[in-house]
Amino acid sequence: MSNSPMAFSPMAFDSIGTVADWIDACRQRSLAALVDLYDDAAKVDCCEGGSFRGKSGVERYWLPKLEKPVPGAFAIDALLPEAGGVSLDYRDHDGRPVRIHFRFSETGKIISMACAPT
């Protein structure tokens, strides 16, 4: 048995799995499940303009987008890990192609989300 102290290893989380859960919540139009994936201090930067902060901001951002998505909305085109997070190319609530860059807190919650048209 070694006398050296064990190195601290932070708890890992599945960032790709979190984004998959995010897409599932969008497809199911479950605002509560979607908002639960975000950190309390989350920030959403929308490609259509606007910045939303905190879970109440996330809720304000997503509520109208989940009300009446078009057929084919929330389809995944590409889901890739990237430095510091995950990149998702998908079809938004209107069926338009969009790229989102997700960043996560140490606990695996979405801390920031920034989108841009692809």
pLDDT tens sequence across 4-39: 343 333 447 899 999 999 999 999 999 999 999 999
Q: Which of 48, 98, 93 is nearest to 71 (CA)?
A: 93
Q: Report the CATH number that the domain containing residue 70 is assigned in CATH.
A: 3.10.450.50
Q: Report phi then psi at 27, rounded to 5.
A: -60, -35
Domain total in the chain: 1
| pTM of the complete model | 0.86
Instruction: Answer yes or no: is 1 within a domain.
Output: no
Structural domain boundaries enclosing 101:
15-117
d(CA 18, CA 11): 15
Question: And the tokens for 108?
Answer: 């695996």
82-112 pLDDT, tens per residue? 988 999 999 999 999 999 999 999 999 999 9
Question: Does 44 fall in a domain?
Answer: yes
Quick one: tokens of 39?
A: 């950190």
Give residue 99's region: left, alpha or beta (phi > 0; psi -120 to 50).
Answer: beta
- The full 3-state SS of 12-35, as one line of letters, equals CCCHHHHHHHHHHHHHCCCHHHHH
In a domain? residue 9: no
